[in-house]
Amino acid sequence: MTLLGRFEKLDVGNALRPTILKAGEAWTLRAQPSLLAPPAAPRTLRAEEQRSERGRALDLIDALTRSGALSLEDATLHVVLAATHGFDKGLVDTVVQDSVNPVDAVERSSLIMASCVCQRPAAELIKAERLAASQALSPALFAPIAE
């Protein structure tokens, strides 16, 4: 099931919305010319320089892996996933008038996203001491999900 599908199925308050992040036009490059050299002064990259540097980075990965023939051991891939969690009322009104703990709502939202990205049940992603409380607040999140 897609992330948006999980939002629609599991987010009881319909508070989650997909968010598109756009990188700024100017990027700052911080680099070190060689392993033993001191870092070079940061410089700002515009669109054409960004394309060039991205190409150089991908070429380096291609060369290091021999066009994918070698695997990258102990490599880390960072992924940024964003969603907007909105409340119908302000924070104080949500807590006082509706008796809703916004931390619980955001925790549910985080678990919805994490279970989709990690392709694991929510119960495997939460600490044992928080499991019972989370299950009580969001039982649908811990039920088997039909793909």
Minimum mean pLDDT range among 50-54, 81-85, 122-126, 128-132: 81-85
Burial (Cβ within 10 Å: 0-12, 13-18, ≥19) of residue 123: middle
Find tokens 């102990």 and name the residue: 74
- Rounded CA-CA distance 60/69 in Å is 14
Whether 144 shows a pLDDT value over 80: the answer reads no
Whether 37 shows a pLDDT value over 90: the answer reads yes
For residue 18, what pLDDT band results from cuts at 50, 70 and 90?
confident
The DSSP call for residue 98 is: T
- Rounded CA-CA distance 48/41 in Å is 20
**Of residues 87 and 66, more confidently modeled:** 66
- Rounded CA-CA distance 57/18 in Å is 29
Q: What is the pTM of this model?
A: 0.65
